[in-house]
A and B are shown apart, each in its own frame.
Chain A
């Protein structure tokens, strides 16, 4: 098979000493930021962008992929040992995982999460290997109108799904799109929205936007409502699973993987929906002791969602690599990283840079194995990381945010822009606006514009060209459904008066 040969070549790239080292650095950093509150993989990759100029592209992406996968592993440790999950994708794990930990089964919860993540990550990466060439083949004939429709779908899906309130999701997206407009128009060389400030000619760097909205915004938000009580961390010994735990875990792992991968690959699918579906599915399938334990710490409720969570991360890489379409904040930052190296993900990337793409995919297998070793025996060590005093943690996060942004251009103006974006991120968190649509808007907006103008130029200005291909029509229809279905539903719900509303809010808790 062709892709098997390419994958083997990829292993040759990934298995050099230098790249193994980058993979190890990546997964270690990823686990660390996954465990630590207030900082996640998206922000970490963003912070590393300015200092990876000197690193070869293959090595950089091997490291970034490690951070992405590592963040997924690390997040589960936090949600099991500390019942206050930060990332929404680990929220479900906390439901059963923390209860298991409170009943003295922290070791088993961590083990099923780590092994389940490994199983799911490996299977889903195989699925990525199989699916990517198919999507590439399909997408090779995509015209600009198809890419524009894809971007529209990603915009709508991410804004509608990530927020409980569509208008807030779309507001976040709009803020990002507007920020993305600033600077010189690439096609005509005209200045847009620079207001005469020379530093704005190159636009606001994606790194500043991501770091401002994520890092500084989070630090300010946490400062405004800091939990002053010391975190209640459950101690953990050696992680292990008994025979019974294995028997109860392996099926949920596989089912979670089957849910996670396709949802990760869908625009707006993300990790939240499949983890929740996996949780609900395992609850429904639970029999005997599992049924009794569900709600009080059933291992199935950790195994399934954790597998779904990791499988979705691999799924996210399918549209990112084959279409250049980011479906999560971390994927959006990785797209920005590709652009920084002058690469454009899409069908051509597989043609022109097979060593890079397949090296990165091969490194996912290697990184997954490393993560299993890092997370199983070393879980108690990671648990200790959770005890970092919060004042130092957030002071450190802000310091590294400033370092990463200053390293971009050596400009203090960038730091002021960073601060303003931090205030925006703070306001967005406070009022429940999701941050990811803004980040995706900044990165995907300019690309959507290029494709739109290209499509309209080909069609001699006739807007019908945008619905000129069956692919574009399908994608735009799905986007319209994603936008209007919840609106109609909320409209109907409002008409159905108070009782329904009370029920809806109590479900949110």
Chain B
């Protein structure tokens, strides 16, 4: 267990002395600041809403101001809590190993594949783009047999298209395969 990585066994006295060596920055501070800044954004972002407020002054800015103000207070308390070493247990999940070090390579790869998919979807069409998405993600997540991944990817891409477009009349882009399917 490394002390930089906030192990789950909180509260053991050994961690206290170790934590002194870490600077005040912790990754969770980023999220806490997002909450705080979002409160400011909500308030500033609705300043220009110039509604003819109703007779009693309850225009469209009233509730956003309430939400923004609350966000600032909660965000401030959250930042304080993180700075004072507070933390909550990360969510449990069937497939999550809580002791594993964060695998940023996988997260980055998956993000890149997904964003590439959003760009390519309308060009390539659902069948090809979603097959590539499935194939890429399964490899990024550690599938070892590439051939099998590729076959499953094509089957899923094709069958979802047929089921949802032909069966349930959902509109998905045909892309390159326009006219073929």
Check B3 for interface membership: any CB of A closer than 8 A.
Answer: no
A158 to B172, CA, bound (A): 37
Contact between chains at B87 and A432 (CB < 8 Å) = yes
Contact between chains at B10 and A427 (CB < 8 Å) = no
Contact between chains at A419 and B134 (CB < 8 Å) = no
Task: Choose from B51, B78, B95, B169 the contact partner of A38 (Cβ within 8 Å).
Answer: B95
Knowing A174-B39, A431-B31, say if A190 contacts B64 (CB, 8 Å). Answer: no
Within 8 A of B (CB), among A74-101: 78, 82, 84-86, 88, 91
Contact between chains at A508 and B89 (CB < 8 Å) = yes
Output the nearest chain B residue to A423 by Cβ-Cβ distance.
B111
Output the nearest chain B residue to A82 by Cβ-Cβ distance.
B94
Knowing A37-B94, A419-B114, say if A407 contacts B170 (CB, 8 Å). Answer: yes
- The minimal Cβ–Cβ distance linking B88 to chain A, given in whole angstroms, is 3
Contact between chains at A429 and B91 (CB < 8 Å) = yes
Knowing A192-B46, A461-B58, say if A505 contacts B152 (CB, 8 Å). Answer: no
Contact between chains at B107 and A164 (CB < 8 Å) = no
Check A412 for interface membership: any CB of B closer than 8 A.
Answer: yes
A426 to B121, CA, bound (A): 24
Check B177 for interface membership: any CB of A closer than 8 A.
Answer: no
Contact between chains at A38 and B94 (CB < 8 Å) = yes
Check A445 for interface membership: any CB of B closer than 8 A.
Answer: yes
Knowing A50-B170, A167-B74, say if A220 contacts B31 (CB, 8 Å). Answer: no
Check A428 for interface membership: any CB of B closer than 8 A.
Answer: yes
Output the nearest chain B residue to A36 by Cβ-Cβ distance.
B94
Q: Which residues of B contact A91 (CB under 8 A)?
A: 92
Contact between chains at B134 and A395 (CB < 8 Å) = yes
Contact between chains at B170 and A51 (CB < 8 Å) = yes
Q: Which residues of B contact A164 (CB under 8 A)?
A: 88-89
B-contacting 9-mer, from A275-283, A325-333, A385-393:
A385-393
Contact between chains at A433 and B139 (CB < 8 Å) = no
Contact between chains at B138 and A429 (CB < 8 Å) = no
A224 to B90, CA, bound (A): 12
A203 to B127, CA, bound (A): 29
Q: Is the interface of B mostly helix, strand, loop or mixed?
A: helix
Q: In the complex, how many residue pairs between chain A and chain B have their CB atoms under 8 Å apart?
A: 264
Output the nearest chain A residue to B68 by Cβ-Cβ distance.
A178
Q: Which residues of B contact A394 (CB under 8 A)?
A: 95, 137, 141
Contact mask for chain B residues 129-150; partner A; CB cutoff 8 A; 1 contact, 0 none = 0100111011111110000010
Q: Which residues of B contact A428 (CB under 8 A)?
A: 31
Contact between chains at B90 and A190 (CB < 8 Å) = no
Contact mask for chain B residues 2-37; partner A; CB cutoff 8 A; 1 contact, 0 none = 000000001101000000000000011011100100
A225 to B139, CA, bound (A): 16
Q: Which residues of A contact B68 (CB under 8 A)?
A: 178
Task: Choose from A221, A399, A400 the contact partner of B91 (Cβ within 8 Å).
Answer: A221
Contact between chains at B118 and A419 (CB < 8 Å) = yes
Output the nearest chain B residue to A419 by Cβ-Cβ distance.
B114
Q: Which residues of B contact A218 (CB under 8 A)?
A: 93
Contact between chains at A399 and B130 (CB < 8 Å) = yes
Knowing A402-B130, A403-B130, say if A223 contacts B87 (CB, 8 Å). Answer: no
- How many chain A residues sit at the interface, stated as a range, is 35 or more
Contact between chains at B32 and A392 (CB < 8 Å) = no
Contact between chains at B75 and A219 (CB < 8 Å) = no
Check A245 for interface membership: any CB of B closer than 8 A.
Answer: no
A179 to B176, CA, bound (A): 36
Task: Choose from B39, B103, B121, B153 the contact partner of A406 (Cβ within 8 Å).
Answer: B121
Output the nearest chain A residue to B106 by Cβ-Cβ distance.
A223
Q: Which residues of A contact B60 (CB under 8 A)?
A: 185, 187-188, 190, 192
Contact between chains at A195 and B11 (CB < 8 Å) = no
A187 to B60, CA, bound (A): 8
- The minimal Cβ–Cβ distance linking A18 to chain B, given in whole angstroms, is 15
Knowing A178-B71, A225-B96, A227-B96, say if A402 contacts B117 (CB, 8 Å). Answer: yes
Knowing A391-B142, A394-B137, say if A431 contacts B93 (CB, 8 Å). Answer: no
Output the nearest chain A residue to B135 by Cβ-Cβ distance.
A395
Contact between chains at B81 and A461 (CB < 8 Å) = no
Contact between chains at A171 and B78 (CB < 8 Å) = yes
Task: Choose from B50, B67, B81 the contact partner of A178 (Cβ within 8 Å).
Answer: B67
Output the nearest chain B residue to A227 by Cβ-Cβ distance.
B97
- The minimal Cβ–Cβ distance linking A226 to chain B, given in whole angstroms, is 6
Q: Which residues of B contact A423 (CB under 8 A)?
A: 111
Q: Which residues of B contact A188 (CB under 8 A)?
A: 51-52, 59-60
Check A251 for interface membership: any CB of B closer than 8 A.
Answer: no
Q: Which residues of A contact B119 (CB under 8 A)?
A: 412
Output the nearest chain B residue to A409 by Cβ-Cβ distance.
B171
Residue in A222, A395, A453 with the greatest tally of chain B CB atoms within 10 Å: A395
Contact between chains at A224 and B107 (CB < 8 Å) = yes
Contact between chains at A165 and B74 (CB < 8 Å) = no
- The minimal Cβ–Cβ distance linking B57 to chain A, given in whole angstroms, is 6
Check A374 for interface membership: any CB of B closer than 8 A.
Answer: no
- The minimal Cβ–Cβ distance linking A220 to chain B, given in whole angstroms, is 6
Task: Choose from A78, A174, A187, A416 the contact partner of B75 (Cβ within 8 Å).
Answer: A174
Output the nearest chain B residue to A194 by Cβ-Cβ distance.
B45
Sample (13) of A-B pairs whose CB atoms are under 8 Å apart: A38-B93, A38-B95, A84-B92, A84-B94, A167-B86, A181-B42, A190-B59, A227-B97, A395-B133, A412-B119, A415-B117, A430-B102, A457-B58
Q: Known contacts A188-B59, A391-B149, A395-B134; can you find 10 more A-B pairs with CB under 8 A?
A: A54-B168, A164-B89, A165-B81, A181-B42, A190-B49, A224-B106, A394-B95, A398-B110, A419-B114, A427-B30
| Nearest 9 Cβ contacts at the A-B interface | A432-B88, A37-B94, A461-B56, A395-B137, A391-B143, A391-B141, A185-B60, A505-B11, A415-B118
